[in-house]
């Protein structure tokens, strides 16, 4: 498919898209990489590792944000199992998008832009999760007007055209989103949530059986578990914000762009529910937290090689109207 044939579809149909929205819950590292032009959509980790960016970290490698250890709940689920499932789901979504002419081809300027930024960020992911060295990273652009992006377990990244075009994102802001989403995968938040759900279900079933509460008790206990998970997910989002700005800074993108990004998101999400009912921190809360942590990564950004190329903002595309 030619880049001009790529469409944004109001009715893009994906069987199992991630339910969370964005923010909801390698010469590239040296700044000498050209925009990716490989025929494969896969970002081969061997190519990225060739620069030695991850194996020979500079003396300032331990600078940056502090988010503490990973949750112990992640240990309830094998990482390999979740990464394999994520890869299968991702491949299915990309195939379905391609059938609807809503998967950007390799030569699409915005798809090249995303891969260029990803190739600068990925080498710095290894310090956060050694498994990332083995991941078969992929980056794709979907023709949907939604303000969304995600990175599935195993390094499967996708951006929706809507978030690029509607928010008029600059490269530094794209890097903030990508860093945030990659951070979710590196910190294994999906694995934590699945592990926590597994542990909770065991306790609920045991408690219902011991107390004779039956379905009513199981339902009430289930609601309690959901409230616990709300706070847990908000913590994940805050953690991803901080890890994300560090990844962007090390890759040579201005970490302060995350503040501009969330100001744009605040404008786009007016009427959002109160923070205590949401799975995500309010935009004002996360802006404050990001600003408080910027001094920890400003030195990293100042010393990082800057991108040798900047890309234009995503232009409006003709939208395929919803069928029926």
**Mean pLDDT score of the chain, rounded to an integer?**
77
* Residues designated catalytic: 181
208 assigned to some structural domain: no
275 assigned to some structural domain: yes
Tell me the two tokens of residue 176.
């903030």
pLDDT tens-place string over residues 145-191: 999 999 989 999 999 999 999 999 999 999 999 999 999 999 987 77
Q: 114-150 in b/e burial notation, b at 16+ Cβ within 10 A?
A: bbbbbbbbbbbbbbbbebbbebebbbbbbbbbbbbbb
**What are the residues facing 96 on neighbouring strands?**
none
Indicate if the alpha-carbon torsion angle 31, 32, 37, 43 is positive or negative.
Answer: negative
DSSP-based three-state secondary structure for 161? helix
Tell me the two tokens of residue 118.
């990803």
Q: Tell me if 283 sits within 8 A of 265, measured CB to CB.
A: yes
**What are the residues facing 158 on neighbouring strands?**
140, 150
135 assigned to some structural domain: yes
**At 27, is the pLDDT very low, low, confident or very high (cuts 50, 70, 90)?**
very low
Q: Tell me if 108 sits within 8 A of 97, measured CB to CB.
A: no
**Segment among 43-47, 114-118, 318-322 with least mean pLDDT:** 43-47
CA distance 299 to 306: 13
pLDDT tens-place string over residues 77-97: 777 888 888 899 899 999 999
71 assigned to some structural domain: no
144 assigned to some structural domain: yes
167 assigned to some structural domain: yes
Query: What is the extent of the structural domain holding 80?
Result: 3-55+76-187+230-320
Q: Tell me if 25 sits within 8 A of 280, measured CB to CB.
A: yes
Give how many domains the chain has, as a whole number: 1
Cα-based angle 9, 13, 18 (whole degrees, multiple of 5): 110
118 assigned to some structural domain: yes
Q: Tell me if 46 sits within 8 A of 322, measured CB to CB.
A: no
**What is the pLDDT at residue 75?**
56
Question: Within 13 Å and on the Cβ side, how many CA atoms surround 196?
Answer: 19
151 assigned to some structural domain: yes
DSSP-based three-state secondary structure for 180? helix
């Amino acid at each position: 498919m030619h880049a001009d044939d790529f469409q944004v579809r109001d009715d893009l149909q994906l069987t199992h898209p991630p339910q969370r929205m964005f923010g909801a819950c390698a010469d590239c590292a040296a700044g000498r990489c050209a925009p990716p032009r490989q025929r494969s959509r896969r970002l081969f980790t061997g190519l990225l590792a060739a620069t030695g960016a991850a194996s020979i970290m500079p003396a300032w490698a331990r600078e940056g944000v502090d988010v503490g250890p990973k949750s112990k709940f992640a240990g309830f689920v094998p990482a390999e199992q979740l990464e394999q499932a994520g890869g299968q789901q991702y491949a299915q979504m990309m195939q379905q998008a391609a059938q609807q002419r809503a998967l950007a081809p390799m030569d699409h300027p915005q798809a090249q832009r995303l891969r260029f930024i990803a190739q600068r960020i990925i080498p710095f992911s290894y310090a956060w999760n050694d498994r990332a060295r083995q991941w078969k990273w992929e980056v794709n652009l979907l023709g949907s007007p939604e303000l969304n992006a995600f990175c599935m377990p195993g390094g499967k990244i996708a951006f929706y055209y809507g978030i690029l075009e509607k928010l008029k994102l600059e490269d530094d802001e794209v890097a903030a989103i990508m860093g945030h989403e990659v951070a979710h995968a590196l910190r294994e938040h999906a694995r934590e949530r699945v592990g926590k759900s597994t542990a909770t279900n065991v306790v609920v079933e045991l408690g219902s059986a011991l107390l004779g509460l039956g379905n009513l008790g199981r339902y009430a206990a289930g609601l309690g578990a959901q409230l616990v998970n709300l706070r847990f997910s908000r913590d994940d989002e805050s953690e991803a914000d901080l890890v994300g700005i560090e990844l962007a800074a090390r890759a040579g993108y201005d970490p302060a762009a995350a503040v501009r990004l969330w100001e744009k998101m605040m404008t786009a999400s007016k009427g959002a529910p109160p923070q205590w009912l949401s799975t995500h921190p309010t935009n004002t809360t996360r802006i404050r937290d990001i600003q408080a942590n910027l001094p920890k990564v400003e030195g990293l950004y100042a010393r990082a090689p800057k991108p040798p190329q900047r890309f234009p903002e995503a232009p409006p595309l003709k939208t395929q109207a919803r069928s029926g």
